[in-house]
């Protein structure tokens, strides 16, 4: 055999022993917040961080509801059709997830970060266990801020629990429906994708849905709505989660890289929300919105009424043991 043939045969044998080259795995990361929202910058950051870890993962980002609404992405991820998701998690698949709508669970950013960002908090332990039973892996919860009401006009008795003379949209949650009714609104349940046409057509007079930032980017910049009332009834807690099938297919190194990227994003999400909440109230006013001031005393009175009316209902839905665990963690 010639030297050339020997070298060729040797190279072929080496390639055969090494086996076929393993291609990188591509994961789909889907989000739902509007294009202008800071959450989309973090989707890009997550992609960059995971790919920079060089663990054989590529990320395709589908922002702003390109792959469906939050409800649709939840189902798609549980079936393994979407790998990674950033969205609000609703309770239509398991009533325990109503803890995500627990009104006046926290009253400050410090408390919110202790509950939502600490992976070992009772809240996150309950949340993770529940998602696991639905075929999903909790990666991180990311508090964006405190939720208020967007409306087409200033509600009656806006800063008390009196009748508001308004019917507003609520998301798929018996708890949040009971909360807005305790505050004084009538409530209609509908998906996020239905909110804009419903307000524009007069089907509803507004929606509980939004931090000041989301009210600005989703509603004010689209000239939908005219008033914002910062009741701060619940934390706008968006969730990063994965298809459990996808997660289980990753090796330990890949799981560590993915988890680190989402932990960082959740911390950055909360820090940005804390820093910018007040600025977006100003932006709403500059856009022509009427921002209705609610004093600490007025908000405390509303909170007392809501807790008295709604928390016993929540215990019936999620179980008293869940409520006790959340309260013991305060």
Q: Which CATH architecture has domain 148-234+279-328?
A: 3-Layer(aba) Sandwich (3.40)
Supply the mean pLDDT for the chain: 92
Q: How confident is the model at residue 192 (pLDDT cuts 50, 70, 90)?
A: confident
Q: Above 80 in pLDDT, residue 10?
A: no
Q: Which two tokens stand for residue 50?
A: 């995971």
Residues 228-286 have pLDDT tens digits of: 999 999 999 999 999 999 999 999 999 999 999 999 999 999 999 999 999 999 999 99
**pTM of the predicted protein model:** 0.82
Give just the sign of the alpha carbon dihedral 227, 230, 234, 238: positive
Cβ count within 10 A of residue 4: 8
The CATH class of the 12-144+236-278 domain is: alpha beta
Q: Which two tokens stand for residue 62?
A: 């589908």
3-state secondary structure 114-141: HHHCCCCCHHHHHHHHHHHCCCEEEEEE
Which residue in the block uniquely carries the two structure tokens 């790919």? Answer: 51
Greater confidence (37 vs 45) lies with 45
Do 12-144+236-278 and 148-234+279-328 come out as alike in CATH topology?
A: yes
Q: How confident is the model at residue 7 (pLDDT cuts 50, 70, 90)?
A: very low
Position 81 scores a pLDDT of 97
- Mean pLDDT for 136-153 is 96
Cβ count within 10 A of residue 299: 18
Q: How confident is the model at residue 23 (pLDDT cuts 50, 70, 90)?
A: confident
Domain layout of the chain by residue ranges: 12-144+236-278, 148-234+279-328
Position 330 scores a pLDDT of 73
CA neighbours within 13 Å on the CB side: how many for 78? 14
Eight-class DSSP state of 99: G
């Amino acid at each position: 055999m010639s030297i050339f043939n020997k070298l060729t045969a040797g190279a072929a044998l080496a390639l055969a022993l090494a086996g076929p080259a393993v291609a990188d795995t591509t994961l789909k990361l889907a989000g739902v917040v509007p294009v202008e929202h800071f959450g989309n910058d973090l989707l890009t950051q997550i992609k960059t961080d995971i790919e920079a870890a060089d663990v054989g993962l590529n990320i395709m980002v589908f922002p702003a509801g390109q792959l469906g609404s939050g409800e649709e992405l939840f189902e798609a991820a549980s079936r393994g059709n979407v790998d990674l998701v950033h969205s609000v998690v609703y309770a239509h698949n398991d009533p325990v997830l109503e803890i995500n709508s627990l009104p006046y669970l926290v009253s400050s950013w410090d408390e919110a970060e202790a509950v939502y960002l600490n992976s070992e908090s009772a809240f996150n332990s309950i949340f993770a266990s529940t998602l696991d039973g639905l075929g999903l892996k909790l990666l991180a919860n990311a508090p964006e801020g405190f939720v208020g009401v967007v409306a087409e006009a200033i509600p009656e008795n806006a800063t008390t629990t009196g009748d508001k003379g308004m019917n507003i949209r609520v998301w798929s949650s018996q708890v949040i429906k009971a909360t807005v009714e305790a505050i004084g609104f009538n409530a209609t349940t509908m998906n996020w994708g239905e909110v804009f046409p419903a307000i524009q057509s007069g089907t509803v007079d507004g929606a509980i849905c939004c931090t000041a930032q989301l009210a600005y980017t989703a509603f004010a910049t689209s000239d939908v709505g005219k008033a914002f009332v910062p009741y701060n009834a619940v934390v706008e807690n968006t969730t990063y989660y994965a298809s459990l099938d996808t997660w289980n297919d990753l090796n330990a190194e890949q799981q560590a890289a993915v988890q680190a990227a989402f932990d960082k994003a959740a911390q950055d999400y909360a820090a940005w929300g804390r820093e910018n909440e007040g600025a977006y109230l100003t932006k709403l006013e500059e856009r022509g919105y009427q921002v209705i001031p609610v004093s600490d005393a007025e908000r405390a009175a509303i909170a007392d009424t809501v807790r008295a009316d709604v928390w016993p209902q929540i215990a019936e839905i999620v179980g008293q043991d869940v409520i006790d665990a959340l309260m013991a963690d305060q």
